[in-house]
Amino acid sequence: MKIIKRSGTEVAFNIDKIIAAVRKANHEVVENERLTDKQVDDISNNVADICRSMNRTLNVEEIQDLVENEIMNIKSFEVARKYITYRYKRYLVRKSNSTDQQILSLIECNNEEVKQENSNKNPVINSVQRDYMAGEVSKDITKRFLLPEDIVRAHEEGIIHFHDSDYFAQHMHNCCLVNLEDMLENGTVISEVMIEKPKSFSTACNVATQCIAQIASSQYGGQSITLSHLAPYVNVSRIKFRKIVEEEFRLAGLTLDENKINEVAEMRVKEEIKRGVQIIQYQVITLMTTNGQAPFITIFMYLDEVEDGTLRDDLALIIEEMLRQRILGVKNEKGVYVTPAFPKLIYVLEEDNIHEGSRYWDITKLAAECTAKRMVPDYISEKKMIEYKIDKNGNGNCYPCMGCRSFLTPYVDENGKPKYYGRFNQGVVTLNLVDVACSSEGNMDKFWQIFDERLELCRRALMHRHERLLDTPSDVAPILWQYGALARLKKGEKINKLLFNGYSTISLGYAGLCECTRYMTGKSHTEKGGKEFALEVMQYLNDACKKWKEQTNIDFSIYGTPLESTTYKFAKCLQKRFGFIENVTDRNYITNSYHVHVTEEIDAFTKLTFESQFQKLSPGGAVSYVEVPNMQDNLEAVLAVMKHIYENIMYAELNTKSDYCCECGYDGEIKIVSDDHGKLIWECPNCGNTDQDQMNVARRTCGYIGTQFWNQGRTQEIRERVMHL
């Protein structure tokens, strides 16, 4: 026999629940008015008999009505009254569910934390609100049904952060490297429509952007593509243009001069490249995914990713055009060129482009100009990455992160070849290191004991992420699992084989290493005594992941968490639990991952060199940055930093400023000030404008650029950043 729960699902009838509910009401009345055990059993059995005789499945409310009737039938009115009161109280609880209130507040745009949860989402827009509404429901389901109570409690208290619980109810993963090569070469399917191999470069770019939007709607994290997968289609266009130009010469009665034909065709190829890059830039930022924002997409630019010759020359042309168009920017609603948040660009520094006079030095100079103007590209050192990312064959590898900083571990396929594209991350749980330190009260033995307990909590939480993906059928996201973005599985086939053996990763995040070290040692982790402790903590995290991997055959990896809204949440939780501790909990943010504290005076070169040793211990993802002033008139300094990155650190970026005031046309740095109530606001230093709707502000948030403003914790962190150059 079945019953229908309030959620609409059918479950087996359980008479014990009726007995328990009646007994609970029974114990609420005075002893001489209580039912006997036999009467309780008779009521329960009568209800069961009625349910069996109904020839249909009753719902919970109907069954509770039957229970009330049976109690009333034996004239036990006090017990009936208590049972009715209990039902009514539960009804009120459901009616006033905090999820309902959260949804209503975000619809009316009066929830400050939700409004500033994501610096690239505008909470006023219907599609964003719809995504947030679904997210609140998912969070509620996750808390009440999908996660153990202790993990939920640890998340709410800021001891850990269970990332993206607003998507956890669905069987979705975090981020990926798109196998665009497979999708273009072998065709794909979008919304049940076959997309065949492109016949030109611009068409390939158009298909790529459509794939990007579809992928973004099927996962909740960042994705990356490489321009090397688009480069072969330049020659496809070249061959086509040569035939067209030759025919045009013939029809015009011109001499069929092969050099002239090739010259004209090459001009059209360059126009085609310009058109294709324009398609990528504008479609990526104008396409709206189902979560209410432009796709979180990173574009990888690595010259040595393709063989030398025509293919690499074509890739160089694409990279050059991508940089030129990004330098220009995109027009805002007033027609002024501003800095877009996406696509994020990554340029690989290598021997052929990092030295003055090297083969692609001019492209590197263009990249420096782009960084000075638009904050991207960010830079990967081929030299350092090959040193860090060693596969089981003993070979170094260079490949992009997924989105802003999440890196896969090296993987070799069944043919012994390295594989990056078509792989993904299963999800993230972050450990608040500051809470571990404060909970230990400075006792080192207690610190490591609590550390072990918290790591076990994180392991269990991560296993819940993994188990949520287990047995997921490929049908839930055909673009990912069936049509080439990540795999070519059959309909109905489960994705399980992609979750083990290192094909995908799962991430143990960490935050607040700086404050943790200060509390435990009294020193910054840039100082002797502090650094050694901080490195020991990092190694401890890595050792834990190694042990878990050996136990499960799942690739656990350490991830330098890019806290956005969570930095504020963690800070508030720490203050509530431990009060205000100087240089530890006295700010409305804690430091991302291993970073040097934003207020600490340190020069760019020293900072990058220092952080490189911690970045090496964050194989699942990390990025370092240096804060710099307007560098557009000092490209030599930008290039000097880039050369230092190449020699010293795997992945880094320069945080420049790129703002615009729509009221007065000021294009310098918009400042952060305090209003009369102490709230941090943005203000144009030229005209005093404080209307966020009348300014374009772009700031590096935590590996990516944000353009929709931030909560008070992150805003304080941005204001307190010192210059490193």
- pLDDT band of residue 535 (cuts 50, 70, 90) is very high
**Which of these is catalytic: 26, 111, 406, 432?**
406
Q: What is the pLDDT of residue 108?
A: 57
- pLDDT band of residue 185 (cuts 50, 70, 90) is very high
Nearest to 157 by CA among 514, 691, 574: 574
Mean per-residue pLDDT of the chain: 90
**Which of these is catalytic: 422, 621, 703, 713?**
703
Q: Per-residue pLDDT for 317 more than 80?
A: yes
- pLDDT band of residue 496 (cuts 50, 70, 90) is very high
Q: Per-residue pLDDT for 707 more than 80?
A: no
**Which of these is catalytic: 211, 398, 404, 661?**
404
What mean pLDDT comes out for the span 194-211? 96
For the stretch 386-403, pLDDT in tens is 999 999 999 999 999 998
For 651, how many CA atoms within 13 A lie in the half-sphere containing its CB? 28
Q: Which residue(s) pair with 225 in the sheet?
A: 299
Is 425 a known active-site residue?
A: yes
Report the alpha-carbon distance of residue 305 to residue 288 in Å, rounded.
Answer: 30
Is 402 a known active-site residue?
A: yes
Report the alpha-carbon distance of residue 129 to residue 588 in Å, rounded.
Answer: 26
Q: Per-residue pLDDT for 195 more than 60?
A: yes
Q: Per-residue pLDDT for 7 more than 80?
A: no
How far apart, in Å, are the Cα atoms of 469 and each of 34, 42, 170, 222, 524?
Answer: 49, 45, 9, 18, 40
Q: What is the pLDDT of residue 96?
A: 52
**Which of these is catalytic: 44, 111, 174, 206?**
174
How many CB atoms are closer than 10 A to CB 57? Answer: 13
Is 520 a known active-site residue?
A: no
What mean pLDDT comes out for the span 567-584? 90
Is 662 a known active-site residue?
A: no
Phi, psi of 462 (to 5 degrees): -65, -35
**Which of these is catalytic: 402, 438, 650, 702?**
402
How far apart, in Å, are the Cα atoms of 144 and each of 139, 153, 160, 464?
Answer: 9, 11, 18, 14
Instruction: Provide the token pair at 685.
Output: 């230093």
Q: What is the pLDDT of residue 2?
A: 75
Sign of torsion, CA 460 461 462 465? positive
- pLDDT band of residue 98 (cuts 50, 70, 90) is low
Instruction: Provide the token pair at 305.
Output: 């990713």
Is 404 a known active-site residue?
A: yes
Share of the chain above pLDDT 90, in %: 68
Q: What is the pLDDT of residue 585?
A: 95
What mean pLDDT comes out for the span 116-132? 59
Is 516 a known active-site residue?
A: no
Share of the chain above pLDDT 70, in %: 91
Q: What is the pLDDT of residue 132?
A: 66
At 31 the three-state DSSP class reads helix
Q: Are 679 and 710 in contact (CB under 8 A)?
A: no
Q: What is the pLDDT of residue 474?
A: 97
Q: What is the pLDDT of residue 274?
A: 98
- pLDDT band of residue 187 (cuts 50, 70, 90) is very high
Range with the lowest mean pLDDT among 119-123, 531-535, 536-540, 708-712?
119-123
Q: What is the pLDDT of residue 212?
A: 94
* Rg from Cα positions in the chain: 29
Instruction: Provide the token pair at 272.
Output: 């085609």
Q: Per-residue pLDDT for 102 more than 70?
A: no
Is residue 123 reached through a cis peptide bond, with omega within 30 degrees of 0 on the bond before it? no
Q: What is the pLDDT of residue 8?
A: 52
What mean pLDDT comes out for the span 32-52? 90
What mean pLDDT comes out for the span 705-718? 78
For the stretch 462-484, pLDDT in tens is 999 999 999 999 999 999 999 99
**Which of these is catalytic: 233, 360, 411, 559?**
559
What mean pLDDT comes out for the span 355-375? 96
What mean pLDDT comes out for the span 338-358? 93
Q: Per-residue pLDDT for 166 more than 70?
A: yes
Instruction: Provide the token pair at 479.
Output: 């673009």
What mean pLDDT comes out for the span 162-176? 91
| Region of residue 305 (phi > 0: left; psi between -120 and 50: alpha; otherwise: beta) | alpha
Q: What is the pLDDT of residue 300?
A: 98
Is 687 a known active-site residue?
A: no
Report the alpha-carbon distance of residue 457 to residue 431 in Å, rounded.
Answer: 9
What mean pLDDT comes out for the span 181-206? 96
What mean pLDDT comes out for the span 421-447? 98
For the stretch 126-148, pLDDT in tens is 666 667 677 777 788 888 889 99
698 vs 441, more confident = 441
- Using DSSP bridges, classify how beta strands 505-511 and 555-560 pair: parallel, antiparallel or unpaired: parallel
If you average pLDDT over each of 163-172, 287-296, 525-534, which comes out highest?
Answer: 525-534
Q: What is the DSSP string of 236-264?
A: HHHHHHHHHHHHHHHHTT----HHHHHHH
Residues in CB range of 113: below 8 A, 6 or more apart: 565, 568, 711
Q: Per-residue pLDDT for 613 more than 50?
A: yes
Phi, psi of 665 (to 5 degrees): 85, 5
82 vs 544, more confident = 544
What mean pLDDT comes out for the span 585-607? 95
What mean pLDDT comes out for the span 30-48? 90
**Which of these is catalytic: 51, 175, 401, 631?**
175
For the stretch 249-280, pLDDT in tens is 999 999 999 999 999 999 999 999 999 999 99
Q: What is the pLDDT of residue 238?
A: 97
Q: What is the DSSP letter of 570?
A: H
Q: What is the pLDDT of residue 700?
A: 79
Which amino acid would we find at residue 36? T
**Which of these is catalytic: 70, 321, 369, 564?**
564
What mean pLDDT comes out for the span 531-551? 98
Report the alpha-carbon distance of residue 482 to residue 224 in Å, rounded.
Answer: 19
Q: Which residue(s) pair with 661 in the sheet?
A: 695
Report the alpha-carbon distance of residue 185 to residue 195 in Å, rounded.
Answer: 10
Q: What is the 3-state secondary structure (H, E, C) of 393-432?
A: CCCECCCCCECCCECCCCCECCCCCECCCCEEEEEEEEEE
Instruction: Provide the token pair at 370.
Output: 């782009």
Is 689 a known active-site residue?
A: no
Q: What is the pLDDT of residue 105?
A: 57
- pLDDT band of residue 94 (cuts 50, 70, 90) is low
Instruction: Provide the token pair at 235.
Output: 């020659």
Is 456 a known active-site residue?
A: no
For the stretch 274-315, pLDDT in tens is 999 999 998 888 875 555 567 889 999 999 999 999 999 999
What ranges do the domains of the chain cover?
A: 2-95, 98-146, 147-173+427-591, 175-342
Instruction: Provide the token pair at 645.
Output: 């990155």
What mean pLDDT comes out for the span 664-687? 88
